[in-house]
Amino acid sequence: MVDISTRLLKKRLKNPTILTSGILGISSSTLLRVANSGAGAVTTKSIGPRRREGHKNPVVVETPCGLLNAIGLSCPPLGESIEELKDLVKKSRVPVIASIYGRNVEEFVEVAEKISRVKPDFLELNVSCPNIEGKPFGVNAEISARITEMVKDSTDISVIVKLTPNVSDIAEIAKAVEGAGADAISAINSCSGMAINIETSRPILANKFGGLSGPAIKPIAVRCVYEIYEDVDIPIIGIGGIQSGRDAIEMMMAGASAVGIGTAVMNHGIEIFTRICSEIEKFM
């Protein structure tokens, strides 16, 4: 059998597939099912400093080759998220990535400090959600670097920064966060989009705009990963539209050390991890 294990910083992943953030929430039992079903690592939904409702329904629209969502970073109170994460870290046999967000630098630091106490393997900074109020921090190199630097100062855990494709020069942001101490980069978060119901002449999502994910965004993700890879030396987790072993290999050829799988889990179930791995093995 081909060895498809890989290394992400100091951690060994038995294979390069990672459940990406937000797809299956933060409940330990659900994420453990994914961990036990063949994923190389799992990422929690982004955890914020306090309870957040998220946007009103409808929050998801199917499009011909992708999903448009505007969940709006809903999450339970931090204490509840930490209890789930604690259980997950204790029981998971694969590395756990805790995704976090804040509305400002101070909130990022607050969440990073509290979450670090339960020792996930990595922290992922979600500076890139496309469907919150205002523009995400990730469109600004200076702010992204500042958040990275402050979080790095507050934790011993390796920090991954998740970037948005909704910028004119993603490599510039990648270089800024690398310079600020980021240990790795994940790219990409979803692409900003919109859908209109022509019978009612109204936007379908209550939030008007959402984040597009799934096969439609794979070429954008491959291009972003390639551009980042050319300009930075830290590892990259390639995310966006991966559905098959061939997609995963394409992303790794662009420069990714591992790949995030999101919408494909919604479309094909958690068996997708073993299927993608066996397709990679066959190709090798």
CA distance 115 to 138: 21
CA distance 223 to 121: 28
Q: Least distance to ligand FMN from the beta carbon of 23, Å?
A: 6
> 38 vs 241, which CB is nearer to ligand FMN?
241
Q: From the list 6, 20, 131, 166, which residue makes contact with ligand FMN (rule: CB under 6 A)?
A: 20
144: Cα within 13 Å, side-chain hemisphere: 32
Q: From the list 24, 258, 261, 276, which residue makes contact with ligand FMN (rule: CB under 6 A)?
A: 261
Instruction: Give yes or no for residue 248 binding ligand FMN (CB under 6 A).
Output: no
The residues in 29-48 that bind ligand FMN, with binding defined as CB under 6 A, are: 45-46
Q: Least distance to ligand FMN from the beta carbon of 245, Å?
A: 14
Q: Least distance to ligand FMN from the beta carbon of 272, Å?
A: 10
Whether 75 is catalytic:
no
Q: Least distance to ligand FMN from the beta carbon of 69, Å?
A: 4
Tokens (6 digits) for 33 = 């099912």
**By rule CB under 6 A, what count of residues binds ligand FMN?**
26
H helices of 56-204, where?
78-91, 105-116, 141-154, 170-179
CA distance 14 to 40: 5
> 2 vs 147, which CB is nearer to ligand FMN?
147
CA distance 264 to 54: 23
Q: Least distance to ligand FMN from the beta carbon of 116, Å?
A: 18
**3-state helix/strand/coil string of 34-67:** HHHCCCCEEECCCECCCCECCCCCCCEEEECCEE
Instruction: Give yes or no for residue 164 binding ligand FMN (CB under 6 A).
Output: no
Instruction: Give yes or no for residue 217 binding ligand FMN (CB under 6 A).
Output: yes
Contact 74, 25 (CB under 8 A): no
Using the contact rule CB under 6 A, the part of the chain among 21-29, 90-98, 103-111, 200-208 near ligand FMN is 21-29
Q: Least distance to ligand FMN from the beta carbon of 130, Å?
A: 9
Contact 255, 228 (CB under 8 A): yes
The single residue of 75, 129, 224, 277 carrying the catalytic annotation is 129
CA distance 113 to 121: 14
Instruction: Give yes or no for residue 81 binding ligand FMN (CB under 6 A).
Output: no
The residues in 136-155 that bind ligand FMN, with binding defined as CB under 6 A, are: none
- Asked if the bond preceding 165 is cis, omega within 30° of 0, the reply is no
Tokens (6 digits) for 161 = 């920064």
Q: Per-residue x/- marks for ligand FMN, 102-131, CB under 6 A?
A: ------------------------x-----
- Give the residue nearest to ligand FMN (CB): 22
Cα–Cα separations (whole angstroms), residue 71 to 7, 210, 258, 260:
32, 8, 26, 19
CA distance 239 to 256: 9
CA angle, 229 as apex, 98 and 212 as ends, to 5°? Answer: 60
Q: From the list 69, 148, 166, 257, which residue makes contact with ligand FMN (rule: CB under 6 A)?
A: 69
Residues at the site binding ligand FMN, with contacts judged by CB under 6 A: 20-23, 45-46, 67, 69, 71, 73, 99, 126, 162, 189-190, 213-214, 217, 239-242, 261-264
Catalytic annotation, residues: 129
